[in-house]
Structure 1
Amino acid sequence: MAVPGGAYMMGATKEELGDSTNDKIKYLDETPRHPERVRSFALAKFKVTKREFSVFTKETGFVGKGCRIYDGKAWRYDPDADWMHPGFEQTEQDPVVCVSWDDAQKFIRWLNAKIPESSHHKYRLPTEVEWEYAARAGTATPTYWGDEPAETCRHENTRDLSKNALDQPAQAGGCSDRYAFTSPVGSFSTNPWGFSDMLGDALEWIQDCPKIGYRIGPSYAPDSSTTCRTRGLRGASWASIPIAVRAANRTARGPTERNSTVGFRMASDLSR
Structure 2
Amino acid sequence: MAGGAPVTAPLSFYSPADSWLHRLDPRPKLWFSLLGVLICVLTTRTVVLIGVLALTHAVLLAGRQPPRSLVRLWRAMLPILVMILVLQPLLAPGEGPDLWRVGPVRLTEAGLLTGLHYALRVAAGAFVASLPVMTTPVNTLVYGLHKAGLPYSWGMAIGLALRYLGTVGELYTTISEAQQARGLSFSRGGIVKRVRAAAPTLIALIIASLRLSDSLALGLAARGYGLKRQRTYWRNISMRPVDWLAVAVITLAFAGMLPFLR
TM-score normalised by the chain length of structure 2: 0.24
Bigger relative contact order (CA 8 A; separation at least 6): 2
More helix by share: 2
TM-score normalised by the chain length of structure 1: 0.23
More strand by share: 1
Larger Rg: 2
